[in-house]
Amino acid sequence: DAVLAARDAQAQGFDEALFLNTKGRVACAGTGNLFAVSEGTLVTPPLEDGVLPGIVRAEILSKIAPDLGLAVEERPLLPADLESAEAMFVTNSLRLLAPVSALGARAYDSAGHPALQRLCGAVRAAVAEACGIEAEALDP
């Protein structure tokens, strides 16, 4: 499903696909877990909505965001909820945290959002610590 959805998204000029469950709720992106920042809170769909229990997702929910003092909430999301979000990002074990720049015609400055900038730094620091290297070694 993910490969077919990625092909379809790319054919329409998009980088990623958005998966909805049978109730029309947001489940995930084609290649990872989806988070939105709404009213200063990190929001992501709950596992019962068809979300895979991603490693990076779990770290952000259980440790990284709380350590930064960021509120987190797992709750059902409708596509309309994403339209009103301040920022969005996708997580997976390869890309770690990838800011979303647009959803359809709606543009987001996710990369410039303060919460995402703090999260990116904290994720990079956590990976560097786990690998026994300096965080600067992970900079592009």
Q: Where in the chain are the domains?
A: 2-138
Q: Is 20 exposed, middle or buried (0-12, 13-18, 19+ CB in 10 A)?
A: middle
pLDDT, tens digit only, all 140 positions of the chain: 777 777 787 777 777 888 899 999 999 998 899 999 999 899 999 999 999 899 999 999 999 999 999 999 999 999 999 999 999 999 998 889 999 999 888 999 999 999 999 999 999 999 888 888 877 766 66
DSSP letter string over 97-140? EEE--EETTEE--GGG-HHHHHHHHHHHHHHHHHHTS-GGGG--
Helix (H) or strand (E) holding 36: strand 33-38
pTM over 0.85: yes
pLDDT for residue 140: 60
For domain 2-138, give the CATH number: 3.20.10.10
